[in-house]
Amino acid sequence: DAKTTQPPSMDCAEGRAANLPCNHSTISGNEYVYWYRQIHSQGPQYIIHGLKNNETNEMASLIITEDRKSSTLILPHATLRDTAVYYCIVRVVWSGGSNYKLTFGKGTLLTVNP
Amino acid sequence: DTEVTQTPKHLVMGMTNKKSLKCEQHMGHRAMYWYKQKAKKPPELMFVYSYEKLSINESVPSRFSPECPNSSLLNLHLHALQPEDSALYLCASSQESRGPHEQYFGPGTRLTVT
């Protein structure tokens, strides 16, 4: 799987948009970008995923650059409950082999401040 | 229902004990996963089951023995563990192991080996 690079930590004010960047410059054509988050001592939670188009759901928006080498997760109105480690992961979704692993990197600790 | 349940929530065991962790999902998912997460580290994949067959073993020591009795259940049998095996053990499931399917995680079992 392609590797990702994320800042180790970010701060955001409550009610403002949180923009979390991720670099994945070696991404392949058969790899999607996934975002998960993990609130302290809980299991990871799926947020969103995409291939090349921008995606939006009830939790967040995912903006992928045209060359697919980077992406940004946007939480439009961050709340205190959004404080968590956010993981950007690129994952093979179709392949002749069986390597469909989800490999977590170190992630970004987002702290939402009142 | 998008819930993955894990029991027990906490487990303390001695190095000579035998215990089992249990994971259950009723989403009709055909892929199930075990991850291990040490403190302040990202989750690491241990095993993948696809259609009740073991498809990935990430070179996990034999003192960890997974079992998938049916499509809804996943067990992790533990025997002769070491103190360094103390960690949060996470179970996850997805519609299939291949394809752009998100994984749903349980809350985890926090294991302490004494």
Reported residue count of chain B is 114
Six-digit token pair at A71?
């992406």
Confidence of residue A94 (pLDDT cuts 50, 70, 90): confident
Q: Name chain A contacts of B100, Cβ cutoff 8 Å.
A: 32, 49, 51, 93
pLDDT, one tens digit per residue, over B1-35 is 669 999 999 999 999 999 999 999 999 999 999 99
- The strand pair at B109-113 and B10-13 is best described as parallel
CA distances from B85 to A105, B60, B78, B82, B112 (A): 20, 11, 10, 5, 8
pLDDT for the residue numbered A101:
84
User: Which class for A41: exposed (0-12), middle (13-18), buried (19 or more C-beta within 10 A)?
Assistant: exposed
The one-character DSSP state at B13 is E
Partner-chain contact B4 A43, CB within 8 Å = yes
pLDDT, one tens digit per residue, over A36-83 is 999 998 999 999 999 998 999 999 999 999 999 999 999 999 999 999
pLDDT for the residue numbered A48:
97
Determine what percent of chain B is predicted with pLDDT higher than 90.
90
Residues whose CB is less than 8 angstroms from the CB of residue A53 and which lie 6 or more positions away in sequence, other chains included: A64
CB distance from A34 to chain B under 8 Å?
A: yes
User: Which class for B95: exposed (0-12), middle (13-18), buried (19 or more C-beta within 10 A)?
Assistant: middle
pLDDT, one tens digit per residue, over B33-76 is 999 999 999 999 999 999 999 999 999 999 999 999 999 999 99
Confidence of residue A96 (pLDDT cuts 50, 70, 90): low
User: How near does any CA of chain A get to the CA of B11, in Å?
Assistant: 15
CB distance from A1 to chain B under 8 Å?
A: no
